[in-house]
Chain A
Amino acid sequence: MAITMPLSSIIHKQPQKQRDKWPSNDFQEELVIRPLHSGDIYASFQFRTLWETDFMRGNKVSHYRLFPKSLGQVISKFSVRELHISFTQGYWRTMQWGQPFLPSPPGAELWVWFQDSVTDVDGTWKELTNVLSGIFCASLNFIDSTNTVQPSASFKPLGIGNVTDHSFLRYATLPREIVCTENLTPWKKLLPCGSKAGLAVLLKSEKLFHSSFHSQAVHIRPVCQDWQCKTTSWELRQTLNVVFDLHTPGQGKREWSLFKMFSRTLTEACPLASSSKIYIDITDNPQGEQFEVSPATPLLSQAMVLGDRRTFSVYDLTQQITFGTVRSLNLLIRWKSSEDMLRPLLHGERYVAGYGLQTGEIHTLMYNNHPYRSFPVLLLDSVPWYLRLYIHTLTVASKGKDNKPSYIHYQPSKDRVRPHLLEMLVQLPPNSVTEVTVQFERALLKWTEYTPDPNHGFYVGSSVISSLVPSIVAMDTNSTREQPLFSSFFPCKEESSYFVRVYTEPLLVNLPTPDFSMPYNVICLTCTVVAVGYGSLYNLLTRSFQIDEPSPGLAKRIANIIRKMRGVPPL
């Protein structure tokens, strides 16, 4: 703590005016770079547009400036209150990398809160997924009733509004969804500056997809404009999280630069942005003994991240001096030594046990790494209908002993209509592993329901573990003070705990596959049998034999002619 004192004296103080009102149409962009203990580097982009307008109650909005028109029309047409969609490639390794800023499961995830004015939520949900599949070039039209659930306790709205009626919430994941440049292109086109200026210049697909983890998301929600919440505005956040692997570029040196990560350097901020900043996490490096950042900057900032107070170096792109004499900014981080990182407090794992193609068991493990505090977690499991869960075999055990959940919500599946939904509130004892097991049986699908490559297997979406985790440091709940954008990822209502969501791995399960050549074989065999059987019977009934004299030879024929002339019977 003594070390941080001199640092805090040079913290650049933002003018302490309490922001009474944000401007009506505002765009901010920022990039947070966090070197991870394993040598990898985690970069998180956030582009936020705030717009004071009223999409609710069917108001017609026609003049769009910074807010993208395609999303504005989607919100007003489908009466959306909140929309969260993410596309992820790769799995976030919590034990090596810590907690992410904004977690997301592999594949595509979409959850939407509709407004109260919607009468047919399922119909609107179906149309919304089709429209979004066109906007983001993804196969979101495969979201239907067989993979949509209505969670009853998880996924509370992140924006304003005291809604308790979960019939307006829909949640779906597509774990098989591929993320590639065709999803990044329309995502970049939603930004006010596109990919031409500002931080979005760094988003080159060849480098972004050559990484261990890549996740892009769009979050839309209504927020308060000021402390008293007299007016509301719509917030659009586009986030992109990427973890670059140390060993991918081929060099052995532990050295990262913007050019090495993104094959680009920065030359200017987006002219439409009111603020454009880069933050580098230097908390683990107070005296510069772990890594060195260049060009150095005197600007520092402190923020609460995941219950921990962290210090950041700030590079303000709207100031011309940041770019220096070369008019381009290439940040360089050079590693010197490394040490172990703090273990994350909450972690989840999931796997399938068993053998054969008939039955199996799903095991979900939840780790509580806090030394003395226990906290409750809400586990949400959505399993497709073709894995028939036997809920009577559900067991929850911590440290070998039975741990009864205080709240269970289970909705059984209906074949080809809806999936299983299981939500449980479990109290995790300190420093323990809690294991949730349930047995299932695999169903045989109709032969037209199989995908073109059924031997690959069928995916089961990730489980969602949501919880309020106790934090080490007391946190400030005042949310309107001038803060970096990323601190809005960690809203805290109480001083001593923060909200965390952890996703487990998706499962890949083999279903019993029929032999797809059988229809062809059956047709051939049946036709052969019918042809042979009927043909033989027909011949037996209708065939008659006639004796056919062979035609006589030439000599005999001449002899017969002579005998005929003589009047004597022929030979």
Chain B
Amino acid sequence: MKILTFFSLFSTFLSANSINVEENAGQFFSSGHTNNWAVLVCTSRFWFNYRHVANTLSVYRSVKRLGIPDSHIVLMLADDMACNHRNPKPATVFSHKNMELNVYGDDVEVDYRGYEVTVENFLRVLTGRLPPSTPRSKRLLSDDRSNILIYLTGHGGNGFLKFQDSEEISNVELADAFEQMWQKRRYNELLFIIDTCQGASMYERFYSPNLMALASSQVGEDSLSHQPDLAIGVHLMDRYTFYLLEFLEDIHPASKANMKDLFKVCPKSQCVSTPGHRTDLFLRDPGSALITDFFGSVRKVEITMETINLTDLIKEAEQKNIHTTANLQFPPLHLSSFLPYLTPYPQKPKQKDWHPPDGFILGLWTLILLVFFKTYGIKHLKHIF
């Protein structure tokens, strides 16, 4: 008797579970993004800018640890610090003093290095306009379901970021590049983090949807560096990225921490500058966006011993559609049916130049001619007509 009740309970539990699993399988296909990319750029050259390379490498390390593979990371380092002849410990880049953490590691792949890190190459990587012989590891092969993390660090000012001490990228160019990415459907959601002086000026001009931006300091403030190491002789990290790294070390691939926690990283007491963020272009609530949506590469895996009948799900969906649209067949797909999706979000209206109303110029010239002939006599008119 007991066995029978137990068995009946067990079977109901199993059937309930299988329905749950089928539901989950349905949800499986309805998530927002399917892959993650990261573009990490260090723009400074020379040994005393060691900290910028350490910044970029610490974000690289976190991103790799949380699951994004090397093939999906475009790492650009403008100078080589690890094997620099001034480095007392070659093949290492430290982020903490007393050489606690080597962020360079043993398994690093740098895609753009040295003189290759230029504004032109950076914009070409973002927009995808690269020469045909560029290898895959140097391309950003994202699609419209990719979440991209872009991290920039270096020396900057109000409205610009300096590349390699010889050129700069302005916030307008960056905003236009992101708009090009949006129009070419190269991202689903984009997180932009910048750690430079006056970093907030770089995200002021963004106007494309689905962008979230974080900066280490406001306009008029300088971002400061953290701590020097006396053995190496330079400052090792910038404050904002140092506390960002400490925050990310606590995140694991299954973590449920969201973006609001990221905004709290490095308050003014620790950072001396005021970090800023911008979420008005982001369509979801930042509290619902997980950190691992951008920093990790989460693969949704549901382990089940049941067999799931996928064809049933499709038939169910079809039947639902039939009931609602009262169509027995699906109509053939036309481009016109996609037009509503091509511009789903209202964009900021572009500022048009003012033109005078139509016909104004014509009227003006008629007036001038009439006045001319009134003054000098009607006989000149016949030279014209």
Sample 7 A-B pairs with CB under 8 A, ordered by A number: A130-B131, A130-B135, A139-B113, A180-B82, A181-B82, A204-B106, A206-B91
A208 to B91, Cβ gap below 8 A?
yes
A127-B133, A134-B137, A185-B107 known; A209+B114 contact, CB < 8 A: no
Return chain A residues, CB-CB under 8 Å to B90: 206, 209-210
Residues 252-286 of chain B: 1 if any A CB is under 8 Å from the residue's CB, otherwise 0?
Answer: 00000000000000000000000000000000000
Nearest residue (CB) in B for A205 is: B91
Return chain A residues, CB-CB under 8 Å to B45: 452-453
B249 proximal to A (CB < 8 A): no
B133 to A130, Cβ gap below 8 A?
yes
CB distance from B104 to the nearest CB of A (A): 6
Tell me which residues from 97 to 140 in chain B have a Cβ below 8 Å from any Cβ of chain A.
104-111, 113-116, 131, 133-138
B111 to A452, Cβ gap below 8 A?
no
A181 to B116, Cβ gap below 8 A?
no
A89-B83, A180-B83 known; A137+B133 contact, CB < 8 A: no
Residues 443-456 of chain A: 1 if any B CB is under 8 Å from the residue's CB, otherwise 0?
Answer: 00000000111000
Return chain A residues, CB-CB under 8 Å to B111: 134, 137
Contact of B115 among A131, A138, A142, A204 (CB under 8 A): A142
B113 to A178, Cβ gap below 8 A?
yes
CB distance from A140 to the nearest CB of B (A): 10
B113 to A210, Cβ gap below 8 A?
no
Among B82, B83, B138, the one with the most A-chain Cβ atoms within 10 Å of its Cβ is B83
CB distance from B137 to the nearest CB of A (A): 5
Residues 269-313 of chain A: 1 if any B CB is under 8 Å from the residue's CB, otherwise 0?
Answer: 000000000000000000000000000000000000000000000
Return chain B residues, CB-CB under 8 Å to A131: 133, 135
B46 proximal to A (CB < 8 A): yes
Return chain B residues, CB-CB under 8 Å to A138: 113
Among B105, B110, B116, B131, the one with the most A-chain Cβ atoms within 10 Å of its Cβ is B110
Return chain B residues, CB-CB under 8 Å to A453: 45-46, 165
B164 proximal to A (CB < 8 A): yes
Q: Once the chains are docked, how many angstroms separate the CA of A208 from the CA of B136?
A: 28
Residues 173-209 of chain A: 1 if any B CB is under 8 Å from the residue's CB, otherwise 0?
Answer: 0001011111001100000000000000000111011
A126 proximal to B (CB < 8 A): yes
CB distance from B206 to the nearest CB of A (A): 28
Q: Once the chains are docked, how many angstroms separate the CA of A208 from the CA of B92?
A: 12
Which 9 residue pairs are nearest across A and B when measured between Cβ atoms?
A134-B135, A180-B83, A209-B91, A452-B164, A130-B133, A452-B166, A182-B110, A209-B90, A205-B91
A180 to B80, Cβ gap below 8 A?
yes
CB distance from B284 to the nearest CB of A (A): 35
Return chain B residues, CB-CB under 8 Å to A206: 89-92, 106
A451 to B115, Cβ gap below 8 A?
yes
CB distance from A51 to the nearest CB of B (A): 24
CB distance from A189 to the nearest CB of B (A): 9
Return chain B residues, CB-CB under 8 Å to A139: 113-116
Q: Once the chains are docked, how many angstroms separate the CA of A178 from the CA of B90?
A: 12
B108 to A185, Cβ gap below 8 A?
yes
Range for the number of chain B residues in contact with chain A: 20 to 34
Tell me which residues from 128 to 158 in chain A have a Cβ below 8 Å from any Cβ of chain B.
130-131, 133-135, 137-139, 141-142
Q: Once the chains are docked, how many angstroms separate the CA of A138 from the CA of B115?
A: 11
Q: Once the chains are docked, how many angstroms separate the CA of A176 from the CA of B136?
A: 24
A182 to B108, Cβ gap below 8 A?
yes
Q: Once the chains are docked, how many angstroms separate the CA of A213 from the CA of B182?
A: 48
Residues 40-55 of chain B: 1 if any A CB is under 8 Å from the residue's CB, otherwise 0?
Answer: 0000011000000000
B165 to A452, Cβ gap below 8 A?
yes
Among A135, A141, A205, A209, the one with the most B-chain Cβ atoms within 10 Å of its Cβ is A205
B108 to A178, Cβ gap below 8 A?
no
Return chain A residues, CB-CB under 8 Å to B110: 137, 182
CB distance from B375 to the nearest CB of A (A): 24
Nearest residue (CB) in A for B136 is: A134
Return chain A residues, CB-CB under 8 Å to B91: 180-181, 205-206, 208-210
Contact of A181 among B104, B134, B165 (CB under 8 A): B104
Q: Once the chains are docked, how many angstroms separate the CA of A131 from the CA of B113?
A: 15
CB distance from A396 to the nearest CB of B (A): 35
CB distance from A261 to the nearest CB of B (A): 15
Q: Once the chains are docked, how many angstroms separate the CA of A137 from the CA of B284?
A: 37
- If A134-B135, A134-B136, A452-B45 are given as contacts, then 19 extra A-B residue pairs at C-beta distance below 8 Å, sorted by A number, are A130-B134, A130-B135, A133-B135, A134-B137, A137-B110, A138-B113, A178-B113, A180-B80, A181-B91, A185-B106, A185-B108, A205-B91, A205-B106, A206-B90, A452-B115, A452-B165, A452-B166, A453-B45, A453-B46
Return chain A residues, CB-CB under 8 Å to B106: 181, 185, 204-206
Residues 17-57 of chain B: 1 if any A CB is under 8 Å from the residue's CB, otherwise 0?
Answer: 00000000000000000000000000001100000000000
CB distance from B348 to the nearest CB of A (A): 32
CB distance from A518 to the nearest CB of B (A): 14
Return chain A residues, CB-CB under 8 Å to B166: 452, 516
Nearest residue (CB) in B for A182 is: B110
B115 to A182, Cβ gap below 8 A?
no
Among A126, A178, A181, A185, the one with the most B-chain Cβ atoms within 10 Å of its Cβ is A181
Tell me which residues from 142 to 188 in chain B have a Cβ below 8 Å from any Cβ of chain A.
164-166
Q: Once the chains are docked, how many angstroms separate the CA of A451 from the CA of B164?
A: 10
A141 to B116, Cβ gap below 8 A?
yes
Return chain A residues, CB-CB under 8 Å to B92: 206
CB distance from A95 to the nearest CB of B (A): 22
A127-B133, A139-B114, A180-B83 known; A134+B165 contact, CB < 8 A: no
Return chain B residues, CB-CB under 8 Å to A208: 91
Nearest residue (CB) in A for B116 is: A139
Nearest residue (CB) in A for B132 is: A127
Return chain A residues, CB-CB under 8 Å to B105: 181
Q: Once the chains are docked, how many angstroms separate the CA of A186 from the CA of B108?
A: 9
CB distance from A67 to the nearest CB of B (A): 20
Among A89, A131, A133, A516, the one with the most B-chain Cβ atoms within 10 Å of its Cβ is A133
Q: Once the chains are docked, how many angstroms separate the CA of A138 from the CA of B77?
A: 12
Return chain A residues, CB-CB under 8 Å to B138: 133-134
Nearest residue (CB) in B for A179 is: B83
Q: Once the chains are docked, how many angstroms separate the CA of A134 from the CA of B75?
A: 12
Contact of A185 among B46, B109, B113, B114 (CB under 8 A): B109
Nearest residue (CB) in B for A516 is: B166
Contact of A135 among B104, B108, B135, B165 (CB under 8 A): B135
Return chain A residues, CB-CB under 8 Å to B137: 134, 137
Return chain B residues, CB-CB under 8 Å to A176: 114
Q: Once the chains are docked, how many angstroms separate the CA of A452 from the CA of B167?
A: 9
B83 to A209, Cβ gap below 8 A?
yes
Return chain A residues, CB-CB under 8 Å to B115: 139, 142, 451-452
Nearest residue (CB) in B for A248 is: B90
Return chain A residues, CB-CB under 8 Å to B109: 137, 182, 185-186
Residues 202-228 of chain A: 1 if any B CB is under 8 Å from the residue's CB, otherwise 0?
Answer: 001110111000000000000000000
Q: Once the chains are docked, how many angstroms separate the CA of A195 from the CA of B110?
A: 19
Nearest residue (CB) in A for B78 is: A452
Return chain A residues, CB-CB under 8 Å to B133: 126-127, 130-131
A178 to B107, Cβ gap below 8 A?
no
Tell me which residues from 277 to 303 in chain B have a Cβ below 8 Å from any Cβ of chain A.
none
Return chain B residues, CB-CB under 8 Å to A204: 106
Nearest residue (CB) in B for A176 is: B114
Return chain A residues, CB-CB under 8 Å to B165: 452-453
CB distance from B94 to the nearest CB of A (A): 12
CB distance from A118 to the nearest CB of B (A): 16
Return chain A residues, CB-CB under 8 Å to B82: 180-181, 209
Q: Once the chains are docked, how many angstroms separate the CA of A131 from the CA of B114?
A: 18
